[in-house]
Amino acid sequence: MQELIVGNAVDLYAPLEVAVYKEELFSETIYVAALDSQVVGFVAFRKNELGYIYVLNEFQGRGVGGKLLDTVIPYLERPAFLEVFPTNIKAKRLYRSRGFVEETKEKMILH
């Protein structure tokens, strides 16, 4: 949801039951980050695409997103890519710290 807020696209949010992308999400490999049995984030990917990464607001800035990326990067075929809202500076900083480089304002590549 934060990605949608930062990207000024909250109207794109839909509950999972009616989300048009749910089949895409569940066709990906998903890793979950949990703390004391509470899910605090997840990452979803397939072949050479990082599809989704999400960390609860109260757990952002604590290394959860980085650990999720560190877990899946070895499984991504190269070159790997992801899409990110141009205004999501925090996410871009995280992706750059893991080796992704900007190809366009909205697309980052990992060689």
Three-class secondary structure of residue 24 per DSSP:
helix
Are 70 and 98 in contact by the 8 Å Cβ rule? The answer is yes
Instruction: Write the class of the CATH domain 2-110.
Output: alpha beta
pLDDT in tens, 9-32: 445 455 555 555 555 556 789 999
Q: Are 41 and 70 in contact (CB under 8 A)?
A: no
Total count of residues recorded for the chain: 111
What local confidence, expressed as pLDDT, does residue 105 receive?
93
Determine if the pTM surpasses 0.85. Answer: no
In the prediction, which pLDDT does 27 show?
Answer: 74
Q: Where are the domains of the chain?
A: 2-110
